[in-house]
Amino acid sequence: MNYKAHIREVPDFPKPGILFYDITPLLNNPVCFRSIIDECIRHYQDAGITRVVGIESRGFILGSPLAYHLNAGFVPVRKPGKLPADVFEVNYNLEYGSTTLAIHRDAIQKGERVLVVDDLLATGGTAGATVHLIQQLGGDIAGVVFLVELLKLDGRNKLNGCDIHSLITYE
């Protein structure tokens, strides 16, 4: 299926010089959405996944149905102040500043097989920070899946050899 045909390219969003790949038309198409989820399930169905971690916020959209179909628990990774219980946090750099991500300290147990899910791999900062959080809690990264990967930004380098599955790539 040609997923790219359902992605809207928005120039100068969120700031001048950025080409934003809007996935909402893709998600709005039930055939495309089902195909995306089915492809990810096929890729990871035999990986022994026990937890699916969705990165705020679009990782929640893909991660929840994956967790359901893989018979795994779903864990949100959120911005600071959004989780109500005891959290583990990591600060990391973005290309235009720094930020923090948080996960509940009891969300992942030592040795659990974890699939990380997000909509976009660009420079790899957010995904790399999430992988770090999971590893600090003792989780084993079974894979990292992205809907879109921007190859020229080389974000894979920040994921230290993790199994990466991207459904759509742009040069």
Which are the catalytic amino acids? Answer: 58, 95
- The region that residue 123 occupies, defined by phi over 0 for left and psi between -120 and 50 for alpha, beta otherwise, is alpha
Side-chain half-sphere of 107: how many Cα atoms within 13 Å?
28
Task: Say if residues 11 and 34 touch (Cβ distance below 8 Å).
Answer: no
Q: Which residues, including other chains, have CB under 8 Å from residue 25's CB and lie 6 or more apart?
A: 6, 7, 8
Neighbours of 29 (CB within 10 A): 16
Contact 56, 100 (CB under 8 A): no
Say if CB 105 and CB 86 are below 8 A apart: yes
